[in-house]
């Protein structure tokens, strides 16, 4: 599990960092279910950077999610990647 989290985290930051204007503000939050069958990655970015990562018609985000998902499937885990602005993340954690 730890190897999966480490490799997907490194992949996400490697792919996303060149796309955004504020890489110093990017945060990656990782959570796994107690059973360990699902690993959720939340990529928290500045509002202006979210659109850059999602891409035209969501194609960039779809490709990023597909690669992360396939890494999880190799070890029998489900991987979910959420791309959120800081404001959305704060709103989500307050609810």
Q: Dump pLDDT digits (tens) for 27-47.
A: 999 999 888 899 999 999 999
14, 16, 33 from 20: Cα distances, Å: 11, 7, 29
pLDDT tens for each residue of 6-19:
999 999 999 999 99
- Work out the average pLDDT over 68-79: 95
Report pTM: 0.90
Residue 45 class from Cβ within 10 Å (0-12 exposed, 13-18 middle, 19+ buried)? buried
Phi, psi of 53 (to 5 degrees): -80, -35
What the chain holds in terms of domains, given with CATH numbers, is 2-94 (3.30.300.20)
Quote the CA–CA distance of 67 and 25 in Å, as a whole number: 23
């Amino acid at each position: 599990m730890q190897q999966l989290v480490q490799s997907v985290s490194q992949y996400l930051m490697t792919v996303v960092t060149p796309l955004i204007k504020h890489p110093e503000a990017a945060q990656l939050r990782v959570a796994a279910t107690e059973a360990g069958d699902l690993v959720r990655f939340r990529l928290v970015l500045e509002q202006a950077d979210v659109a850059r990562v999602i891409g035209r018609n969501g194609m960039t985000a779809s490709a990023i999610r597909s690669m992360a998902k396939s890494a999880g499937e190799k070890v029998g885990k489900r991987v979910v990647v959420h791309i959120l602005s800081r404001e959305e993340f704060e709103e989500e954690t307050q609810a």
